[in-house]
Amino acid sequence: MIKFFYTIGFVYVFLMGFPNALELKPIESQTKSINIQIIPKLELFHIMAYLNNSNHLNNFEFQYKSDINSFFEPFRNQSAVFFVNKVLQNYHAHLLIDGFIVNNNFSKDSSSVNFLNVNDFELENNYSNKILILDSLTKTIDSFAKITNFNKFIENHESYYKQKIAEVIDAISNVDIKKYNETFWGSRKDNYQIVICLLEQDLHSYWFNSENRSYSVFFLSPKFMVDNDAKFGNANQSNIKEGKMSAQDYIFYGAGHELGHSFLNPIVDKYKVDIDKINFKISTSDPSKSIFLCESMLRSLTAYFMIENNYAEAAQMVLQMEKQQGYIYNDVILELIKDYSVNRSIYKNFDDYMTILISKLDQQIK
């Protein structure tokens, strides 16, 4: 049973006698030591957000959404749907919730939990109440799965999910994402996942440690509409000038950026004091100099990888587009990336180079 407590026109959930957690296993396959997955619970979370017109999702109109509308129409106005969206509205880094569903130890990560504000639930905005709401969220999803007979929806779309996984495997068959990233960063992760999110709007990432193993997760969303379906590419070969991108390039460069966060961000965290001393002129929405540097670095890295793969003209276009978005130091950072790459006999990994990068970047900005 779900017991709802109403607060000023809304609802949060205290959990009493909930059904067992959703036990549907990921639909997955592995290629080149990367698990390619569709996670039913995560997919249902996005479906619930979609049912209440969340603005965090893509705006594609494709057959899969029509199927969702038909199957879930009787449940669109369920309180559980409103609750999910209330959480989304009050989670100031909403993409982290995907990590919450992937990582069973998420509640122990205070830096992620603290992005949730629970004042709108008429609760004091403290850590224990945030955990209460997140616990309510996961159990609300489980309950909604039972109410809607979600396993039937999964069964009906299993072949479609497997098709999407096959599209990703085919797209990256000629590139080794794991090796490429580990070679550049000079370090390794124990587990790599590409989690397909058919309704999400943005590519994003999550990383965590569990039972002495490191996990790097790339949440992959479609980019294009082709023949009434959401796709990862719209051409066999990329031509940015013409708005064409292959699925291989979209996934490869997307993975370079998103998986790159799992390598770079922990390094940057160790140098926050030094980074805060750099006189950056920031016009982006990045909340700190450290985050701004991470984004600048990884966007520059995309250009570097493009140059390495003979897409120099496209790399320059990317740099110009990033400048227009406020990442004005990417030309400088690109040269520092090149400096690191040609001196790998000195720097075994990027952590070894970080102090050099900070020093040279600071000098050039001054």
> Residue 217 pairs with which residues in a beta bridge?
193, 206
Residue 15 pLDDT:
45
Residue 56 pLDDT:
86
Kindly report the CA angle at 333 between 331 and 338, in degrees rounded to 5?
100
171 and 320 belong to one structural domain: no
Does residue 255 belong to any structural domain of this protein?
no
Query: What are the distances in angstroms from CA 135 to CA 15, 106, 127, 131, 307?
Result: 9, 11, 12, 6, 45
92 and 189 belong to one structural domain: yes
How confident is the model over 100-125, as pLDDT tens digits? 999 988 887 888 898 999 999 999 99
| End-of-domain residue from the set 178, 196, 214 | 196
Maximum distance among all alpha carbons in the chain?
Answer: 63
Residue 1 pLDDT:
41
| End-of-domain residue from the set 180, 196, 212 | 196
Q: How confident is the model at residue 10 (pLDDT cuts 50, 70, 90)?
A: very low
Percent of the chain topping pLDDT 90: 85
Q: How confident is the model at residue 12 (pLDDT cuts 50, 70, 90)?
A: very low
Q: Is pLDDT above 60 for 8? A: no
How confident is the model over 215-253, as pLDDT tens digits? 999 999 999 999 999 999 999 999 988 999 999 999 999
Does residue 119 belong to any structural domain of this protein?
yes
Does residue 249 belong to any structural domain of this protein?
no
More confident residue, 93 or 59: 59
Does residue 289 belong to any structural domain of this protein?
yes
Mean pLDDT, residues 54-78 taken together: 95
43 and 133 belong to one structural domain: yes
Number of domains in the chain: 2
Does residue 206 belong to any structural domain of this protein?
no
Least Cα distance to 259 among 176, 330, 182, 336 occurs for 182
Does residue 56 belong to any structural domain of this protein?
yes
CA distance 133 to 87: 8
Residue 262 pLDDT:
98
16 and 115 belong to one structural domain: yes
Does residue 123 belong to any structural domain of this protein?
yes
**322, exposed or middle or buried, with CB in 10 Å at 0-12, 13-18, 19+?**
buried
Tell me phi and psi for residue 31, to 5 degrees: -145, 130
Q: How confident is the model at residue 126 (pLDDT cuts 50, 70, 90)?
A: very high
Name the residue range of residue 31's domain: 2-196
Structure-block tokens of residue 41: 């619970």
277 and 168 belong to one structural domain: no
177 and 280 belong to one structural domain: no
Q: Is pLDDT above 70 for 47? A: yes
Least Cα distance to 176 among 264, 261, 252 occurs for 252
| End-of-domain residue from the set 162, 196, 230 | 196
**Cβ distance 143 to 45 under 8 Å?**
no
Q: Is pLDDT above 80 for 80? A: yes
CA distance 230 to 224: 6
Residue 21 pLDDT:
54
Q: Is pLDDT above 80 for 165? A: yes
Average pLDDT, the chain: 92
Q: How confident is the model at residue 7 (pLDDT cuts 50, 70, 90)?
A: very low
Structure-block tokens of residue 278: 């750099």
Read off the pTM.
Answer: 0.92
**Residue bearing tokens 């006698």:** 17
Q: Is pLDDT above 80 for 143? A: yes
Residue 22 pLDDT:
63
